[in-house]
Structure 1
Amino acid sequence: MTTIKLIKKSLICTAVTFAVMGCSATVPAGKYVDGTHEVSAKGKKSLITLNVQVAEGKITDITTKSHNETESLFLNAERLLAKIVANNGHEGIDAVSGATFSSNGILKAINTLPRTDGSQVEYVSVGSKDDASSEDFKLKWSIQPQLGMIIGDYYYQEARFRQGHMGSMAVVLDSSNPSDVILAEFNESGRPNYYTRMYQDVPKRMSEYNFSMGKKKGTAWVQSALTMEKLMVEQDKLTFELNPDYDPAFRNKLKQPNRLKYADIDVVAGASNSIQQSMIPLTAKIHNQINGEGTTLKFYQNAEKLMDKNGKWTGVTAVLRLVVDTQTKGITKAYYDEIFADDKVSIKDASLKKFYRQSKYASINYVEPARIGFNVMVDALDSHLQTGGSLFDINDLPATGDTGSYAATGFTKRSNSWDIYLNQAELLYKQMRLDGVIIEHKKPI
């Protein structure tokens, strides 16, 4: 009788399993077989081998045992390991842009993990997906200017490099101690024929470019520039020696010391070409100029946080930069910008939070309420001052007044930024007059 009951129970369990996946005595509790597993699959250049820990049917840890992929690309692809653990499998995970083959090697290897049901799912290669809309962006960097006033001798070089990108380097020295570097700033604009149209001729330092690159490559472009600038200022260093053991064949292998073109410079991956092909050569030119003809240009910059009526920071910092020729006493360069905080929380206007770590001038998505591009306003100011216009007579510049029909004129409102600019201009002008480096700029009646 007992034997018959067991047979009946087994038959019933088998039937129910197809309907409700019941009878835990015959159905595995987890997805994968418990234990430590070594799995492998082909990447782009080599076999990728992983060690995978499984407990109670779930992946708990993954480490890379071996590979011979390009090191920098594989490091990006390895970002998938945490996703696989969280997802308990490779299903639904996209490849990392720029490391598609290595990504597929990792995902395919995971696909070979022994499953508790004994099945072997056919692996289908995946492509990369730009998750630019994701809010989960972990990379950190700061674009905040030094608050207060900076004054010094000004040097500047720019030149196109590698396929037409425009690199620029500004260096400011202490006028009383020319060996003291008080500011070093590198920027780069995308080439005019850049494959992503929205970044053509766009300066990278404070634009969305860093977020776009960070999501694809795992590092923001500006991080390398900031690393180098800090080195130059802290060590008063403007020249760098070539690495005598440099081997171009190893330039992407991060663990090889002879991958570095310059000795002792290990910049953040993702902008090494910009640093080595543009920033360092431009800085070398400046170094030669410092030790040669010198400069007649003087740099004046003031930056201050913009406060609300309660005296609290709005999350926006205004910065005005003027370069004056001490011989002609005329302004040769002007730049005004409003820079958003490095984090969303600090920006009080909810509509502006999405522009964190960007500036109004560089952002490609920021919309100026005055209904004209913020960059158009600033470029017009620069042209106005270079041609002898007054710092304070801005009435003929864009968006300095309400002008009527938007359809007829292209903009209708005065930009509040002009009032902030005028306050900054007053501060710098007073200091420049005290220093005797600028002619008189009259205010409009």
Structure 2
Amino acid sequence: MKYGKTFRLSLVCSALAVSAFALSGCASFDAPKGKYEDGTHLVSGKGKKGDIQLEVKVENGNIIAVKTLAHKETESLFLNAERLLPEILKNNGHEGIDAISGATYSSNGILKAVNDVPRADGSKPAFEPVGARSASDKKEFKLKWSIQPQLGVVKGEYFYEEARFRQGHMGSMLIVTDSQNARDVLLAEFNESGRPNYYTRLYQDVPKRMSEYNFSMGEKKGTAWVQSSLTMEKLMMDQDKLTFELNPDFDPKLKNKLAEPNRLKYLGVDVVAGASNSVEQSMIPLTAKINDRIQTKGSDQLFYQLAEKLKDDKGRWTGITAMLRLVVDKNSKTITHAYYDEIFADNKQQIRDPSLKGFYRQSKYQSIYYSEPSRIGFNVMMDGLAEHLKAGGSLFEINDLPATGDTGSYAATGFTKRSDAWDNYLSLAEKLYNEMRSDGVIKAHANAPKA
């Protein structure tokens, strides 16, 4: 059996080598000249289970053959990752090549090894791990936007409205104002979930703000839905205004037309095209309702938010920001709303884990494709937390919630290990709880760490 496996692997390597040599002519023709040092080079890069060793042949500065000498990866995954070899040949190097989905670590081991092939000019560029290729990576969008939350603590009067509009989409508007100055808008945030009967099943009931929806829309229309929201929100916070006079120069015929670079006029401000219906039919009416409440009744609830960048054991930002929001009733001092999320950086390069790079400008809760390693949905975990807290549960007694422990039996329980997100949550919960206790706005919670 051992001989048979070795023989089969030899056939696979031989087949890849033949494929590689077949492509070498194309690589020599298209690739830059003199990039690498001529010769046969033995290089290695770390995969998931150990070093991946490659043999790379270079002639006239161009890679003409690559074959695997040894590895310790799962065989089926590594065979998938070896699909990169012809790409490396054609590209004459690893630059600009993303990892194969499902074999991210093995792919990065191969690419890292190629990065170590000696350069003709003596340089040795640092290797940056890459993420898996995905539908959202088909093209680089010229438009940029940021979904990063404000770091530190945000607290104030809480106002929230939601309502369905336009065939059933659910729009929601969150406004937080300074408790000492109702005219000071501290936070404005609009979101929208696709209607339950949305023609694209993938986006039915999916929040748009921090999901793949923006990339899908950007690819089709050249602009992302969230940009309209961000433009309006920034205006509200910068000018401390929630309502705006109609712009007399606005031409309705320009709606969703890119008359200026990705912008159009609406209500006296520049709004990114692509979500004007959401702005007109949902965001503006909901904000108007909130503005009326601020002017008349005020709020009987307080909003507290804490956001912090998650660091690795060397103190470096992982490219993920943790955020906890709590809303409390002023009279009962109990939690009425809770939301915990982990938000990915705006750029792939800032995300250290190569398997997560494809989720940039998204969050774990709102992403469609993100899979929590604990083998249960991140949104399921955090929906459980929200219900637990609304029912009067302690911020710190969470052992009955999903993925809070190790079971070792995926088939029996639906998850195999404790999610790291719970430790991140507890860290923020302790800090935010102490802030709220200091302000005297929340009742004591069982098992709270001592301040």
- Category of TM-score, reference length = shorter chain: 0.5 to 0.7
Partner of 2:388: 384
How many angstroms apart in 1 are the aligned matches of 2:149 and 2:205? 23
2:433 is the counterpart of 1:411: no
Shift of 1:240: 1.9
1:335 corresponds to which of 317, 335, 339: 339
Partner of 1:10: none
Q: Are the counterparts in 2 of residues 224 and 267 from structure 1 also a CA contact under 8 Å?
A: yes
How many angstroms apart in 2 are the aligned matches of 1:356 and 1:133? 10
Shift of 1:326: 1.0
2:406 corresponds to which of 358, 379, 402: 402
How many angstroms apart in 2 are the aligned matches of 1:323 and 1:441? 15
Shift of 1:135: 4.3
Shift of 1:443: 1.1
How many angstroms apart in 1 are the aligned matches of 2:163 and 2:317? 38
Shift of 1:405: 1.6
Partner of 2:170: 166
Q: Are the counterparts in 2 of residues 261 and 276 from structure 1 also a CA contact under 8 Å?
A: no
Partner of 1:422: 426
Partner of 2:99: none
State how 1:25-64 maps to structure 2 within 5 Å.
Answer: none
How many angstroms apart in 1 are the aligned matches of 2:212 and 2:147? 12
Partner of 2:292: 288
State how 1:6-405 maps to structure 2 within 5 Å.
Answer: 132-243=136-247, 248-249=252-253, 251-252=255-256, 262-405=266-409
Which letter does structure 2 place at the counterpart of 1:218? Answer: G
Q: Are the counterparts in 2 of residues 241 and 262 from structure 1 also a CA contact under 8 Å?
A: no
Q: Are the counterparts in 2 of residues 372 and 411 from structure 1 also a CA contact under 8 Å?
A: yes
Q: 1:419 to 1:252 in 2, by over 3 A?
A: closer
Report SS of the residue matched to 1:267.
Answer: strand
1:35-90 residue CA offsets vs partner (Å, 9 max, x unmatched)? xxxxxxxxxxxxxxxxxxxxxxxxxxxxxxxxxxxxxxxxxxxxxxxxxxxxxxxx
- The percentage of counterpart residues that share the same residue type is 71
How many angstroms apart in 2 are the aligned matches of 1:387 and 1:131? 40
How many angstroms apart in 1 are the aligned matches of 2:268 and 2:326? 34
Which letter does structure 1 place at the counterpart of 2:196? Answer: P
Partner of 1:102: none
Shift of 1:356: 0.7
Report SS of the residue matched to 1:266.
Answer: strand
Q: 1:331 to 1:255 in 2, by over 3 A?
A: same
How many angstroms apart in 2 are the aligned matches of 1:394 and 1:144? 27
How many angstroms apart in 1 are the aligned matches of 2:248 and 2:285? 17
Q: 1:131 to 1:332 in 2, by over 3 A?
A: closer
How many angstroms apart in 2 are the aligned matches of 1:137 and 1:244? 33
Shift of 1:411: 1.1
Q: Which structure has the larger Rg? A: 1
Gaps of 5+ in 2: 1-133
Which letter does structure 1 place at the counterpart of 2:439? Answer: D
How many angstroms apart in 1 are the aligned matches of 2:156 and 2:331? 15
Q: Are the counterparts in 1 of residues 343 and 361 from structure 2 also a CA contact under 8 Å?
A: yes
Q: Are the counterparts in 1 of residues 264 and 273 from structure 2 also a CA contact under 8 Å?
A: no
Count of paired positions: 314
How many angstroms apart in 1 are the aligned matches of 2:322 and 2:337? 17
Q: Are the counterparts in 1 of residues 192 and 207 from structure 2 also a CA contact under 8 Å?
A: yes
Q: Are the counterparts in 1 of residues 257 and 273 from structure 2 also a CA contact under 8 Å?
A: no
Report SS of the residue matched to 2:202.
Answer: helix
How many angstroms apart in 1 are the aligned matches of 2:448 and 2:325? 22
Shift of 1:339: 0.6
TM-score normalised by the chain length of structure 2: 0.67
Q: 1:419 to 1:255 in 2, by over 3 A?
A: closer
Partner of 1:435: 439
Shift of 1:408: 1.4
Q: Are the counterparts in 1 of residues 171 and 282 from structure 2 also a CA contact under 8 Å?
A: yes
Shift of 1:298: 0.5
Shift of 1:247: 5.9
Shift of 1:263: 3.0
Q: Are the counterparts in 1 of residues 381 and 403 from structure 2 also a CA contact under 8 Å?
A: yes
Shift of 1:178: 1.0
Q: 1:266 to 1:438 in 2, by over 3 A?
A: same
Q: 1:349 to 1:371 in 2, by over 3 A?
A: same
How many angstroms apart in 1 are the aligned matches of 2:229 and 2:253? 24
Shift of 1:410: 1.0
Q: 1:410 to 1:208 in 2, by over 3 A?
A: same
How many angstroms apart in 1 are the aligned matches of 2:285 and 2:334? 29
1:93-112 residue CA offsets vs partner (Å, 9 max, x unmatched)? xxxxxxxxxxxxxxxxxxxx
How many angstroms apart in 2 are the aligned matches of 1:212 and 1:308? 31
1:236-260 residue CA offsets vs partner (Å, 9 max, x unmatched)? 010122346766455355659xx98
Shift of 1:132: 4.5
Shift of 1:417: 0.6
TM-score normalised by the chain length of structure 1: 0.68
